Amino acid sequence: MVYDVVVVGGGPSGATAAHDLALSGHKVALLDREGRIKPCGGAIPPRLMQDFDIGEEQLLTKITTARMISPTGRHVDIPVENGFVGMVDRKDFDPWLRDRAVAAGAERFTGTFLRIDRSRGWPRVVYRDKASGEESQIVTRLVIGADGAKSRVARGEVPGADRIPLVFAYHEIISAPMTSDHYDPERCDVIYDGRISPDFYGWVFPHGDTVSVGMGSEDANVNLKQATADLRLSSHLAQCETLRREGAPIPLKPLERWDNGKDLILAGDAAGVVAPSSGEGIYYAMTGGRVAASAASAFLLSGKPSALKLARKLFMREHKTVFRVLASMQNAYYRSDSRRERFVSLCHDIDVQRLTFEAYMNKKLVKARPMAHLKIGFKNLRHLTGLVPETHV
């Protein structure tokens, strides 16, 4: 049997690509190794729920406030105006997405991707079957690589994929405290403190009965587990039961190329589509899966390898500016604790708060407030140049 598409990787990106392609009537195989849970805060915005038909029954809780905490312990609470941020646990969310793809018509294979063999015509995806331990093959017209930040598919097929910058993330899923003066089950805490992360941030994200506590750093020498232990201690969560520990690299820059010019497209973390500064990945992963599916359909219809470039074009057309702004913010404010203090001070500004959440909820820079953008530009410059005292609130 020859499949139209083999999707390698069953996370949000791969499962979305498989679901969309199966709904379109294509013969789809979804290969996933099963059992891997990516460390993730689990936040999904309303636009994701709308765009990908995710019902509220998938949510563990709804977040109504975000708290930004500086190195000196100052904080600013930013309300989520006119809405909420949904929280999911990847342990449950990813399998649900895979099951939905299968229900749409995708055929499920469980195993570990090994290589692509083109010695006999159509590409053959070679994998090690989880149940038997034997090598097996799936013959296909097209491959979508959605197998994570250190994608085997990408490294074997797309030049430059091995040079993508990575943040190493780690979190612990713990039992939520029964009562606490320091913990709010409807508030996400984001900690900008060099003692927790020298170049990224730490987080405390409620998941209903559980909590995700973690951090990330590009510095491979940082002790992620110790930093997370320190974060739990400072957040008064050290005594809570630890249920799971998970770690993985997260890319923070989209690759310049997402296809091999022949028969393969990348999607999700494999293509580098995690937002700089925030590290948000679920929405962008699912969007990456959708545009990969669109490009795959165009390729299958036309037979032209040039159609594969459509995936990156569609994604960057809508999200390139947001990614550039977020990358500039990370480069400007994550360098030192003094810069982090100024960043938290900037977050007190009502224009910053409103535009930040409008951009997060709607996934675009809002153009309806040109004066607000101008004001923020001046305020940002004043904070970076030190014209505003670090203790300013």
Compare 328 and 258 and report the one with higher pLDDT: 258
Residue with tokens 């570990």: 112
- Is it the case that residue 69 has pLDDT exceeding 80? yes
Within a domain: 330: no
Distance of CA 341 to the CA centre of its chain: 26
Instruction: Write out the two tokens for 50.
Output: 């709308």
The reported pLDDT for the residue numbered 80 is 85
Same domain for 356 and 378, yes or no, is: yes
- Quick check: is 53 in a domain? no
315 shares its domain with 369: no
pLDDT at residue 347, as a whole number: 85
- Percentage of the chain lying above the pLDDT 90 cut: 74
Residues 1, 144, 360, CA angle at the centre, nearest 5°?
145
For residue 237, report the phi and psi dihedrals to the nearest 5 degrees: -125, 10
Q: Is the pLDDT of residue 374 over 70?
A: no
Residues 108 and 142 in one domain: yes
Verify that 66 and 205 share a domain, yes or no. yes
Where in the sequence is the domain holding 341, given as residue range(s)? 335-385
The pLDDT of residue 252 is: 83
What integer pLDDT is reported at residue 389 of this predicted model?
53
328: pLDDT strictly greater than 90: no
Cα 187 to Cα 63, 68, 200, 277, 302, distances in angstroms: 6, 10, 20, 19, 49
Please report whether residue 154 resides in a domain.
yes
* Per-residue model confidence as pLDDT tens digits over 329-351: 888 889 899 999 998 988 888 77
379 and 368 within one domain: yes
Last residue of a domain, one of 251, 283, 311: 251
Identify the residue with better confidence: 208 or 358: 208
Residues 174, 176, 179: CA angle, nearest 5 degrees: 145
72 domain-assigned: yes
376-387 pLDDT, tens digit per residue, is: 444 444 444 454
Q: For residue 327, tell me if it sits in a domain.
A: no
- Tell me what the mean pLDDT of segment 261-285 comes to: 93
Quick one: pLDDT at residue 202? 96
Tell whether the model's pLDDT for residue 186 goes beyond 50. Answer: yes
Give the pLDDT band (50/70/90) at residue 365. low
DSSP state of 354: H
Same-domain status, 236 and 272: no
State the average pLDDT for the chain.
Answer: 90
Domain CATH number, residue 178: 3.30.9.10
Q: What number of H helices and E strands is found in the chain?
A: 10, 16
Identify whether residues 76 and 209 lie together within a single domain: yes
User: Which pLDDT value is given to residue 140?
Assistant: 98
Sign of torsion over alpha carbons 86, 89, 92, 98: positive
CB count within 10 Å of CB 256 equals 12
| 156 and 178, same domain (yes or no) | no
The verdict on 132 and 104 lying in the same domain is yes
- Taking only the tens place, the pLDDT of each residue in 148-179 is 999 999 999 999 999 888 999 999 999 999 88
Average pLDDT over residues 129-135: 96
Return the CATH number at 8: 3.50.50.60
Whether 53 shows a pLDDT value over 60: the answer reads yes
Whole-Å CA distances, 75 to 32, 69, 196, 240: 41, 4, 16, 23
What's the CA gap between 348 and 235, in Å, rounded?
21
Q: Could you tell me if residue 276 is inside a domain? A: yes
Decide if 45 is inside a domain.
Answer: no
Residue 174, beta-bridge partner list: 211, 242
**Tally of structural domains, the chain:** 3
Selected residue with higher pLDDT from 330 and 191: 191
Do 238 and 304 fall within a single domain? no
Average pLDDT over residues 70-91: 91
Based on the fold, state whether residues 175 and 220 are members of the same structural domain: yes
pLDDT of residue 381: 44
In a domain, 349, yes or no: yes
My answer on whether 312 and 169 are in the same domain is: no
**In 3D, which of 283, 247, 296, 231 has the Cα closest to residue 29?**
296
